[in-house]
Each structure stands twice: as C-alpha cells, then as structure tokens.
Structure 1
Amino acid sequence: MADNHSADEPLLLNLTDAENENPPRSTFATALVKWVLGVAMWLVLGLWVAVFFMFPSDAWTELVESWTSVTSGSIYGITAGSIFLLCSGPILVIVFLAIASLMVDGKKALQLKTSSKYPRIRLRTFPILVDGPFGVVSAAEFIGICLFVAFAIWALYAYTMQNLNVLLEPSLSSEAKWILMLTVIGIRFAWIGMFCLAFLFLPISRGSVLLSIIDIPFEQATRYHVWLGHLTMPFFTLHGLCFVIAWALEGQLLDEILEWTDEGIAILPGVISLLAGLLMWVTALPPVRKKNFELFFYTHQLYVVFVIFLALHGGDFYFSLAAGGIFLFVIDRFLRFCQSRRTVDVISATCLPGGSVELVFSKPANLRYTALSFIFLQIRELSCLQWHPFSVSSSPLAGRKRISVLIKVSGEWTSNLKSKVLHMSGTEGENGLHSQSRSKITASVEGPYGHEIPYHLTYENLILVAGGSGISPFLAVLSDILHLTNQGKPCLPKNVLVIWTIRKSNELHLLSTLDTESTCPNFSDKLDLEVRVYVTRESDPPLEEGNIDEGISTSVSPLSRGSGMSVLVGTGNRAWSGAYAISSIVGFVVSMALLDIFYVHPFNILSWWYKGLLLVGCMIGSVIIFGGPVIYSWHRWEKRAIAAEEAEDGENDDKSQQSAHSNTMQDNIVPKDRALSWTTHYGARPNFQEIFMSVSECWGNVDIGVIVSGPATLQSSVAKQCRSRNLRRRALHPVFHYNSHSFDL
C-alpha cells in the first residue's frame, strides 16, 4: 500500500506542541549517555535483585554481617549505613539514573520509536497466559512472575534447610523444639514478606519516574501491585500465625500479643499492622471488591496504619528492608495531594442518549497527555473521599484548553452524577425548584496518567476492540489519527479496524460524537477506517434500517468556579518533577544524618519502635520540607506560564473557543450525514477467529497493533486469537501485538 512516511521515520509524540514539527535527531553523544545510563540502571537493578535472592543463604548472611560491621560506624549507624543502603538504597539510585536519562533525552524523548521493517514478536505484546487468576499475561510479565515465584520457593527451601537444624538440637525437649521451630519459621516468613513488600508500593506510584522510564502506564502497573499484594500478605499472615501458635503452646498468648517493649520487636504494633493488612487483603479479593467497591476503597486507606505500625513493630532495622519503595510512594502521594486540592473548571456536562455522561474540563495548553490516558475524578457534591478513574475521550489535538471524559452510568456514584446533571439542566427536579447544592459541580482531577509514548501511533495497522463504554479511549485515538492526518504530520496508522460490542443499540450514539469529515475532510483518501458494531441483545434494528434511537440528550454549563487542571503529576514537566524527586531524596538523606548527629546519638535513643517512627517521620518531613518548596516553585511557574499564554491569546479569544466548543457539542448530539459511518450486526457477537484470519490475508506480512478496552472475557478472547495467530504464523502473515487498555482497581 502507498505510504508517504516509511516505518523508519521518526514520529512525534508531543502532539500538543505544534512548534515541534521537526525535532532534531539525537546526537551520538546523547545516545551514548542514554545507553550508559540505561546499562547502569540495569546493573543496579540486577545487584538489588541479587541481594534479595542471596539473602536466605548462609554465605550471604556472613557477608551481610561483615558489611554491617564495616558500615556501623558511619553517621547513620547500622540502619541507614548498612541495611537501608543495601536493601533500599539501590532503588533510589535507579531513580537518580532514570531522572538523568529522561533529562538527557529532553524533548527528543517525545519522539516515537520507529518500528522495524520486519515484523517480529515482542515480549511485552505477546500474550502467554490468556485465562486464569492472572488474566492476560504477556511474555515479559510471565518472566517477572516466574522470578518472584522462584525467589519465594528458593527462600522457603533455604530457610527450611536451616530450620531443620533446630530439630537436631539434643538439649531441647520435644515441645520446646516445636515452639522454637514455629518461632524461627515465623521469622523466616517475615523476611520473605518484607522482601516482597520492597516491591509492593512501586507499581502504585502513579507519576513515578520508574514507570516513565520503562513506559508502563499506571493502569497496567496496578495489576502488578495486586499480584504482589496476593504474594506478600500470605507470608505476613503465616508469620503471625506461627507466633500465635507458639505463644498458645507456651500459655502466654494474651501477654505476648499486648507486649510493646522498647528494645527488640514490639508485638502489639505488629498485630495492629497485620489486622490492617488483612482487612485490605480480604476486601481486595475479586468477589468482595466487585460486589462492594466502596468497602474495598475505604478499607484500602488503612495502608497508612499498615505502614506506620509496621515501622513501629520492626523498628528502623527491619523497616529499612522495604523503606525505599515506600518512600517513593510517599513522594508521589504528596505530589498528587498537592494537585488534587485544586478545583477544576467544568466547561460543560452532557447527558447523552444510552445512559452516558460527558464532562469537559478546563486545562492549560501546556498540559501534555496521550490519547490513551486516564484521569482520576472527584465530585465533591457526591463524595469528598471517592476518586474514580476514567479514560480520556478527547485527543490532545482536539482542544488546547479542554479535556473530556465519557462516563457510563453503571453504579451508585455514576447514577448520582447523571441525576445531578439532569437536575441542573432542568430535566428533572422537585416542583421546578433547584437547591443551591444542585447549582454546581465541584470537581477535582488527578492526572492525566498514561504512556509516555502514544504507542497506538507506532503501528501502521491497528485493530481496536472495545466492549461497551470501552469505546471511550478509542474515540480519542481516532480523533488523534484524524487530526494528525489532516495537519499533514507524520502518522503511521493507515489501516484501522474498530470492533465494538454493545448490548443495546441506544449506545451507538457515542460513535456519532466523532465527526470524521469535519476533523479531516476526505479522510477516506488517506486512511482506511472500518467500524463494525455488534449489538448482542437485539436481533433487529429498533427503527428503520440505518436509524438510531437518539433518546434524550441534555447539556448544561455548570457555574463551577475554579481553574484549569494542574500540570503537576501525569506526563508533566520532567525538569520540575525530577527536581522534586531529587530534592526529596537528598532531603531524606540529610534529615536522617542530622537526626542521628543531633538527637539519636547524643540522647542515646535505643528504642526500636521509636527509631522506626523517626524513620517514617523523616520520610514524610523530607518530602514536605525539601520537596514542598520545589512544588511551590513549580506551581508559581505554572501560573506565570498560563498568564503569559492568556495574555498572548487574549481573554475574548479564550471565551470564543469555549463557546464554539459548546455549540459543537450540541451539534454533535445527533448524527450527521458526514459523521463516522459503520456497519451494525444485530443479535451477533464478533467471531475473532474469522476476523483475524481475514485481516491476516488482507494486510499481509506487517506488524498489527491490537488494543483491547473492555471486560476480562473480551480481553481473554482477543488475546487467545493473538497468541494462536502468532504461534501458527506463516512467512507472509502478520504479527499481532496485544495491548490492553482496561483499568481495574
């Protein structure tokens, strides 16, 4: 097929910045520095993993003891000078290297990596497991799972061999041996749990530089946190259970549980921490989480209790094993807190036919995000605590100062949101009177979060598979492609097949909101776009063929006083985010040194639980005291940038843009003759085997990006076909690259 842009040409990522149409190519020096930093990161990561793998062995125990004795005379003593440096220091070093790599990359990192001329299977996009408790698992993810399982098996084996020596002790009675055995086993389970905990908080640091450097979006990393949680909590539970049985055999169960000693392990804080962890774990299990999401959400806030009392339980020595990952989460959490305090303008709220609500928010023009991004939304009139994730439905190119989401009404929170919008529009009400509480929508936003690189633009051939409201992010993807094509910018996608499965035809209206001809006139000459819709619960069209029940649509522009979204977090400014992380880490090191020099050593502080509390206090204090001024400066810089932008554009121009958008939305409420066209199949489900076979024969020996947005069953069906086609691939057939874009907390 004809293509004006070969697969070897660079492709822009910074799509919101029209000035960067021709970014300079990376110099050899820049590429060399990036390579060196990348190798250094992998080496440090390998050494860090090796520390945990070798920890259960006797030889490594002797080495650690030697290392501790050498470093115990430092300013930080045995904790930060040895254990923290050995077990938590490497991840902080990786953060420094990652920030340096992103800074060296600069704006050139905002270019898309070119695809190969020769299709090949990639570990990250090749599904290995498509069913089971883990869901769809790629080859790269499967390797990671195997590493953690191997570590757990190796640690259990090594510790078991060590524990057998207890049974050979002749001076102990049979009961004493079993009590000692349970105690030793309980300690071993605690060690393994702490090693898993070192990784547990890394995937849920939403704006983490670690996720950016490997281009793993937060919605995908969340499942790693779930997996690690299900691996960590059984070890902690067995740890507590072993000690409970041992104390019961001794007849000192209640006394031991209530014990809180100054020197050594404080038992009562450990009990509190374990109970908090169990509550989080049980309510996070799929049967509980799906039936009662609010229970899961609120109990998961007990992570604060879990972490603080864990530090009190094990003291600074044991807490240092996992402190690095927890500290990075604290850094990210404080930044998100600062962003989410802002009230964001709601430009418009629209109730669409089919039961969906569209919200449009104000944003600064310099806020960067990709089409496949998420935001977390809070509506204070509905709940002051609940945050809900939604896919962005607008392209970064669709509007410089607005961003929109489509929300399907499927639960209590979304139902209340729709009712509120209807009340505000006057469609519903009590005797035509509206209380003051119904006169506005007070929204706060976190994000956007997503891929650093819009990977949907790296494929010349795309298959977008959506289920129900999963079409929302694909509207942004299609808009992205159409805008790029219309503006003449490099854009790889030339063949796009959209497969959308819905229950009833009243949801078809969502496709009408994408006016392809207005966005890119004569797009069919440049883009082969095909949309197939499958209506599963209707055997025939509700009206005449080709007509759709438009239902009722209402729109209102709430009088929400606030400002645009903050550029903090998300894919924001790398210089500021890097400075914030570095200042917080350096501040933590400095605060720990000052604390030891002027307080711990002079006053001979020996209490383990108190020193653990001081360690947590240094984490929180360093982020606020040292990182806070950077956030404040970042915020001031943002305000000056927005002020300069408004001065350039003019206040009247800004208002006219908002008004034009409002009119456009109203016009798009009904299908147009020039709107996106599609074929509808009633009473049928997509046969992915036939679809993929047809695509293989038609598109030939190419890379095909498959993106799925929908329920787990849909993801599994598509992943199964991708795996099957790739394993049975012939020379002239394509390689299917599986990607998932479904968020599941």
Structure 2
Amino acid sequence: MANGESEVLSARLYQPLLSNSAADVAPCSNGGNKNRFFLSLSKWVLKFTMWLIFIAWVVHFLLIPTDLGTTLSNDWLAATGGTLFGDSGSVLLLHSGPILAIAILAFPYIIIVGEEEQQLQEYACNTLKDRNCTPPILCSLKSTLIYYRKKDKPPRFNLWSFPVLVDGPFGVVSAAELIGIILFVVFVLWDLYAFTVVNFELLATYGDLSLGETRLMFLHNLARNLGQIGLVCLTFLFLPVARGSVLFRLINIPLEHATRYHVWLGNLAMLLFATHGLLYVLIWTTKGCFFSQILEWKDTGVANLAGSISLSVGLLMWITTLPPVRKRNFELFLYTHQLYIIFVVFLALHIGYLVFPTAAGPIFIFVLDRFLRFCQSRKSVDIISAKCLPCGTVELVLAKPESLRYNALSFVFVRIWELSWLQWHPFSVSSSPMDGKYHISVLIKAIGKWTEKLRDSVLKNLELPCTKLTISVEGPYGHEKPYHMMYENLILVAGGIGISPFLAVLSDILHSVKEGKPCLPRNILLVWTVKRSDELSLLSTIGMDSTICPSFSNKLNLQAHIYVTRESEFPSEHGEVGNSTADFSDLCPMSKRSGMSVLVGTGHNVWSCLYVISSTLGFVILLGLLDFFYINPFDITSWSYKGFLFLACMVASVFIFGGLVVCLWHLSEKRTSAEEKCEDDESNFGKIEHTETVTHNVAHQESPASLTRSIRYGARPDFKEIFGSVSKNWGHVDVGVIVCGPPTLQSSVAKEIRSQSIRRQSGDPIYHFNSHSFSL
C-alpha cells in the first residue's frame, strides 16, 4: 500500500477504531468475548486486592504508636503466637505479610495485563482483516491508538512528569515525588507526636521521680521510639535496591528513580538511628555506666553491643555515601556499602526475634533479588565486538539469547574480572531490541580509573581474542514498558555520553517505522551538548540516515541540534572522524558462544513468580520446623539467638527452595538456547546488524533530506529559545522531554519546563519531564 493511501485509510478508520459502537467493530466469537471479560475481571480484582492490602498495611503503621495500635498488636500476638510458627511468625505475618502478599499477587497481574494486551492486538488484527485492510499497517495503527494514547483526549499535566523542585539536595523532584516526600515526613512527624504523647502518659505512672530522673526517663523512651521509627524507614529502605523487584515493575518505576528513593530513605533512616544511639550514649554517660551498658549483651531484651556494632557499620556506610567522599573515592563507597550484610546481621541480634520481623518482608524481597543477581552474574558473557571510538569511548557488543527481553531505555551492570573482581558499573543500553536478536550494545566513556583501564585494555589487545576480557552482566533493568513510545512528540536532551540511551531510542523508533510496528512518536528533536567535535562519532553507531530506515521523512520529523561547547569551529587537523577507531572482534562458532543469562527478576514472569512463591513458602516452612523441633523442645529464650535463627531461615529458604526453582529455570534456559541455535543458521549468528564507524567527516557531511541537523560551535543550548520554538511550531500537544546528562543539565531543562508550564497559554504544549541518568 502506498504511503498516501495508508494515510487516507488511517484517517478514515481513526474514529471507528476508537468507537464503542457495536456497528463499528467486526463480530467475534462468544469465546473471545468471555476470555477477554475474564482477563479484565481478574485484572481489576487483583488490582483492588493489592490496593486494599497496601492501604491496610499503611494504616497499620499509622496505628502502631497509638494505644489502639498497641492493643490490636497485643491481641494479635496473643491469638496467633501459640501456633506452629511462634511469636516471630506472628509478628512477621502482621508487619511483613502484606508486602509479601502484594509481591506475589503482582506477578499474575503483570501476566494478565500482558495477555490482555496481546489478545486485544490479535482481535484488532482480525477485525481489520474482516474489513479487507492491510494487517501490518492497520494493526500498528490499532495498537498505537489503544495502547498509548487516544487523540480525543486533550493534553494534560501528569504529576509524575511535572517538575516542582529543580535545585537543592533532592535534585529534580516531580509533583508526585514531592507529595510522597511530604506524606512520608508527615508520617514520621505523626509517629514522633504520638510516641511523645504516650511517653508523657507513661511518666505519670512511674511514681515519684526527681527532675533529673524524669528527664532521663523521657530521653530513654524517646531514644527507643526513634529506633522504632528508624526501623519503619528501614522497612522501605531495601525495596528500591531490589533491582528486579516486581513491586516497582508493578507501578512502572525504573531503577534510576528507585535508587534516588533509596538514597533519601537511607539518609532519613541513618539520621534517626544516629540520634537513637546518641541519646543512649548521653543517658549512659550521665548515669556513669557508659562502658558497662555499651558492652551489655543480655538474653532477654535488646543486645546493646550488637546494636553498637550495627550502628557503627551503618555510620561508616553513611559517611562514605556523602557526595564529597563518594565522588572523590568511589571505590571506598562501593566496598564499604557491602557491609550492609554485617549491618543487618547485628541488627537482628540487637533487636531480637520479636522486633526484627517488622522489617523482614522488604529485606526478604531484597535477598530474593540479590540471590537471583548472584546466579545471573556467575555466567561469563562473550564480547562479540569491542572498539574504541576517536573520542575515547569504548563500544562493547555483548552476546545475549533471543529470549532475553529489554527496552531501549534500559540499564545493565557490568563487571570485568581483569579490571576488578568486585566493582559493578551501570551503563545505559545503546542498542534497540530490534537491532538484533543475539546482541546488546553499551557505550562506555573513559571518565574514571575503571573506564580508563577498560579503554587501555581495548587499545593494547588489538591482536588478542576478546576472551581476554572476562565480562559478567546483571540485568537489563528498566521500565516495564517503553515509555518513550507514549509520546507523539519527543525532545531528547543529552549531555556528552548521555546520548547513549537516545541512540537506542532513535534506533527503536526507526525500526518500528520501517517494520510497521506500534510507534507513536512523529516529531523528535534531539538536543545534544558535547565538549569536543570528536564525540560526534558516537552518532555513527546507529544507521540513523540510511541503514535502518532510509526514507522516514514522510512518517517522522527528526531534527538534531548539536552544540560543541569548547571549540569555536570544526578543527580541520582532526581529519576524518573515525579513522582512529580501534576494533577487535571474536566471531567464534555458534556452539561456543555464551550469551547473557536470563535469570533476572525482569525476565520470565512465570519463573520469577514460582521463584518468589517457593522461597516464601519455604521461609514459612522453615520457621515452623525451627519452632517445632528446636526452639520449643529446647526452650530457647535468647532474643538475639532467636533473631539470628530467624534471619538464617530467611536466607536458607531463598538458597534451598528458591535455588531449586532457579536450577529448573536454568535448565529451561539451556534448552531454549539450544532450540534457538538449531533454528538459526550458524553463518548468520555472528552477524551484527550494527553500522560500523563511518570514515567521512560527520560535521561536514551533507545530511539527507529526511534529517535536519545543525551543529553550533562555541555555544550552549538556550532552552528558553528551544522550548519557545517548539511551542510555536508544535502547538497544543503533549511533549515528552527525556534528559540524560549531568545534574546541571537536568536542572536547566526542568527549570525551563516549569517556567513554560507556569506561563503557558491555552494553545501551548504541555511538557512532561523524564530523567534518565543513573548514579550510585
């Protein structure tokens, strides 16, 4: 079908496709209707159930410091503490059971949503076939209209993408994030207020006390309450760092955003814990029993020595996370952060079996994710090719199985054994999933010790096979759905190597346009700031002009504004960009090739669900067996020891019960990989659908008619001018703005978006801010 005909046909069918009228759709079987109704009903039941559990969980935390909450907790413990699972199982079910239940229910919800979308797309294709329409074009149209956006809905603001705070310690904060911060602060203040009221009521029951004794008693209760509030913060602290957590996939929060929440919660939790410990030091010093109390380790109650060790380790971790330390010595921050194991173990010994289960649920979810990451990272990944671009950036193309899925805006964590045994570094994926079934690419700029060693290794080992670099990979991690496909109008703002994820985005969109797949973006503006012109060779890593989709101008308006800040003009002495590219590749036989492992939380939903369910059931079984065969018969009463046994059950359940599922998953992966190798021609396996570095002058080449490109030297982007031009040319539409670059660049863009939103007219666009910059 010609392009003009398809546009006319799309316009003709646009309204009927969105209509709910029975006359506008083709008839379908009753079985299909019943199946879709059942899926939709199941999805809403699961969603309602998860919301109900979550609200009850939050209300439970709000009631803890009140008399009502204390009464309900005591009644619950009295009613369930005598069961097979003991008091620790009772506390676990009350405090951590809800979040574990949500994690389990999230898997069938995600599976049902995917199945529903697939059936909807198939139904659309069948409907359009009955209309004698060309399926590829119109199925793409149907998917675009239903899944991403309906044009009959006017542009509107989104709390998640509206920047409110653009400067300060939190960085760029959206309206939704600000609401979350305020609610959490209110929650902490409420707990402090409620505990303070209870403390004053308790003081009246202590009898005649001197003023000094009253103050010390009040400080003692306050210190204990601060520890309790810090433990609640710890409950939420471990959730964001579970990289493949189904909870963040459920609400579609990517890893780079979750990491920020972990940082915020970590600072708050350590502030509370530090104040908790400082108050006890003040009390003990005043009483003259500092050394005896800090070394105390009693069987019943908290163990002070274990708490001192846990707090000391936590403070060390906290200090190394501060920006001045982390930026100057990243390795110190990275290595000391591994002490979280000691922190958690001694925390369990400190607070014992009756209190530790309060935070056990999220820690258990983190252990699930950590064990799965450990299993995935055991596998070495082949480098299909590695090259060093003229700007010193290294491009690695890594082997992967066809079954490993990812989105264009994804991250992978890479460890190279020859450079460091412990260091894992995150990198944005620079290739689209549609670039090839068996490879994934990353761009690594030499800006630190580790990356400089990698660049030198690539340059020094040109004649050696790439197996000299032993690479392990974790991931990919990212959005559950490709959110760059949600906007018809896109502005991509990159700083330096921040162009890497946008190369994947552009490649993804061009492939979708070429193959007639769902693809909403129609207007794309790329704003890229680099220091020197040799970085322009990064654009050559995709076939943006001719390789992927040579004639996309009638479907896609693509413009690129490039700013070279430290050069006033193109330096002729550089010669041809790309001639200095060093390249080595390993095209081993297909049978010897080793791709990335699919054992990842964002991978196969059914296997992931079985892994979580089996580990959770195993945890419950081990707790029951421990209580029935050991704790009760031998009359174990030590709080610390029982807390340690509880933690041991948690870890053992993941290794034993979850490990069994992981082994079966691994066998399934091997069988699937073998089937893929049998289906594909061995001669085509090593073929990379990847454009090699061009040898012509990027800055002076003549751009094709389909791409408008401008390069300005000695200038920086004026975002007020850029957004003003977009407002004038694009009109009243939604515009997705994705920024990948340093914090100053993100703040500048967010500030201008906020300014444009405040003074916008009725016919101006609505800008949606999205950041894509990951930092540890």
Range of TM-score over shorter length: over 0.9
User: What is the CA distance between 1:557 and its match in structure 2?
Assistant: 1.7
Aligned equivalents of 1:165, 1:559: Cα separation in 2: 75
What's 1:429 paired with?
none
* Structure 2 residue 662 is matched with structure 1 residue 628: no
- For residue 680 of structure 1, the aligned residue among 686, 708, 711 is 711
What's 1:64 paired with?
73
Q: Which moved further from structure 2: 601-610 or 330-339?
A: 601-610
- For residue 397 of structure 1, the aligned residue among 427, 431, 434 is 434
* Structure 2 residue 521 is matched with structure 1 residue 493: yes
- For residue 35 of structure 1, the aligned residue among 26, 33, 44 is 44
Query: Per the alignment, do residues 391 and 670 of structure 1 end up closer, same or farther by CA in structure 2, a change over 3 Å counting?
Result: farther
2:581–2:693 CA contact under 8 A, matched in 1: no
User: What is the CA distance between 1:642 and its match in structure 2?
Assistant: 1.0
Q: Deviations over 1:454-490 (max 9, x none)?
A: 0101111100000110000000000000011111222
- For residue 54 of structure 1, the aligned residue among 57, 63, 80 is 63
What's 1:665 paired with?
692
Aligned equivalents of 1:629, 1:360: Cα separation in 2: 32
1:534-613 alignment to 2 at 5 Å?
534-543=563-572, 549-550=577-578, 552-557=580-585, 563-569=594-600, 571-613=602-644
Aligned equivalents of 2:467, 2:677: Cα separation in 1: 28
2:615–2:658 CA contact under 8 A, matched in 1: yes
User: What is the CA distance between 1:614 and its match in structure 2?
Assistant: 0.7
Aligned equivalents of 1:667, 1:348: Cα separation in 2: 16
- SS at 2:490's partner residue? strand
Task: Give the number of equivalent residue pairs.
Answer: 717
- For residue 126 of structure 1, the aligned residue among 162, 167, 170 is 162
* Structure 2 residue 300 is matched with structure 1 residue 258: no
Aligned equivalents of 2:356, 2:16: Cα separation in 1: 49
User: What is the CA distance between 1:650 and its match in structure 2?
Assistant: 2.8
Q: Deviations over 1:209-264 (max 9, x none)?
A: 10111111112110000000011011111111111111111211111111111221
Unaligned runs of 5+ in 1: 11-23, 427-433
User: What is the CA distance between 1:452 and its match in structure 2?
Assistant: 1.1
- SS at 1:318's partner residue? coil
TM-score, normalised via structure 2 length: 0.89
What's 1:301 paired with?
338
- SS at 1:425's partner residue? coil
Letter in 1 for 2:149: S
Aligned equivalents of 1:368, 1:41: Cα separation in 2: 26
User: What is the CA distance between 1:47 and its match in structure 2?
Assistant: 0.9
- For residue 73 of structure 1, the aligned residue among 62, 79, 82 is 82
Aligned equivalents of 1:37, 1:729: Cα separation in 2: 40
- For residue 115 of structure 1, the aligned residue among 149, 152, 174 is 149
- SS at 2:547's partner residue? helix
Aligned equivalents of 1:549, 1:330: Cα separation in 2: 47
1:376–1:388 CA contact under 8 A, matched in 2: yes
1:196–1:231 CA contact under 8 A, matched in 2: yes
Aligned equivalents of 1:38, 1:370: Cα separation in 2: 25
TM-score, normalised via structure 1 length: 0.92
User: What is the CA distance between 1:364 and its match in structure 2?
Assistant: 0.5
Aligned equivalents of 1:650, 1:260: Cα separation in 2: 66
- For residue 214 of structure 1, the aligned residue among 241, 251, 254 is 251
Q: Deviations over 1:265-319 (max 9, x none)?
A: 1111111110111011111111211111111100100100000110000011111
1:230-379 alignment to 2 at 5 Å?
230-379=267-416
- For residue 145 of structure 1, the aligned residue among 176, 181, 201 is 181
1:56–1:155 CA contact under 8 A, matched in 2: yes
% identical equivalent positions: 54
Aligned equivalents of 1:540, 1:666: Cα separation in 2: 23
1:336–1:569 CA contact under 8 A, matched in 2: yes
1:542–1:549 CA contact under 8 A, matched in 2: no
* Structure 2 residue 293 is matched with structure 1 residue 225: no
2:490–2:735 CA contact under 8 A, matched in 1: yes
What's 1:478 paired with?
506
2:313–2:339 CA contact under 8 A, matched in 1: yes
Aligned equivalents of 2:765, 2:114: Cα separation in 1: 34
What's 2:672 paired with?
641
- SS at 2:536's partner residue? helix
What's 1:197 paired with?
234
Aligned equivalents of 2:111, 2:481: Cα separation in 1: 16
Query: Per the alignment, do residues 417 and 36 of structure 1 end up closer, same or farther by CA in structure 2, a change over 3 Å counting?
Result: same
* Structure 2 residue 729 is matched with structure 1 residue 698: yes
CA RMSD between the two structures = 2.4
- For residue 95 of structure 2, the aligned residue among 84, 87, 95 is 87
Aligned equivalents of 1:261, 1:507: Cα separation in 2: 63
What's 2:113 paired with?
105
- For residue 552 of structure 2, the aligned residue among 502, 523, 531 is 523
Aligned equivalents of 1:364, 1:535: Cα separation in 2: 38
User: What is the CA distance between 1:108 and its match in structure 2?
Assistant: 4.1
User: What is the CA distance between 1:35 and its match in structure 2?
Assistant: 1.2
Aligned equivalents of 1:53, 1:166: Cα separation in 2: 20
Query: Per the alignment, do residues 319 and 342 of structure 1 end up closer, same or farther by CA in structure 2, a change over 3 Å counting?
Result: same
* Structure 2 residue 467 is matched with structure 1 residue 452: no
Aligned equivalents of 1:340, 1:610: Cα separation in 2: 33
Query: Per the alignment, do residues 548 and 123 of structure 1 end up closer, same or farther by CA in structure 2, a change over 3 Å counting?
Result: farther
1:207–1:569 CA contact under 8 A, matched in 2: yes
Query: Per the alignment, do residues 686 and 70 of structure 1 end up closer, same or farther by CA in structure 2, a change over 3 Å counting?
Result: same
User: What is the CA distance between 1:673 and its match in structure 2?
Assistant: 6.2
User: What is the CA distance between 1:167 and its match in structure 2?
Assistant: 5.6
Query: Per the alignment, do residues 305 and 559 of structure 1 end up closer, same or farther by CA in structure 2, a change over 3 Å counting?
Result: farther
Aligned equivalents of 2:446, 2:712: Cα separation in 1: 24
What's 2:172 paired with?
136
Aligned equivalents of 1:670, 1:206: Cα separation in 2: 41
User: What is the CA distance between 1:617 and its match in structure 2?
Assistant: 0.6
1:336–1:446 CA contact under 8 A, matched in 2: yes
Aligned equivalents of 1:624, 1:66: Cα separation in 2: 34
Letter in 2 for 1:150: V
What's 1:430 paired with?
none
1:513–1:668 CA contact under 8 A, matched in 2: no
- SS at 2:355's partner residue? helix
- SS at 2:427's partner residue? strand
What's 1:21 paired with?
none
* Structure 2 residue 190 is matched with structure 1 residue 154: yes
What's 1:45 paired with?
54
Letter in 2 for 1:270: G
- SS at 1:135's partner residue? coil
What's 1:464 paired with?
492
User: What is the CA distance between 1:189 and its match in structure 2?
Assistant: 0.6
1:504–1:536 CA contact under 8 A, matched in 2: yes
User: What is the CA distance between 1:508 and its match in structure 2?
Assistant: 0.9
What's 1:17 paired with?
none
Query: Per the alignment, do residues 200 and 281 of structure 1 end up closer, same or farther by CA in structure 2, a change over 3 Å counting?
Result: same
What's 2:24 paired with?
none
Aligned equivalents of 1:223, 1:555: Cα separation in 2: 37
Q: Which moved further from structure 2: 61-70 or 339-348?
A: 61-70
Letter in 1 for 2:650: M
2:636–2:642 CA contact under 8 A, matched in 1: yes
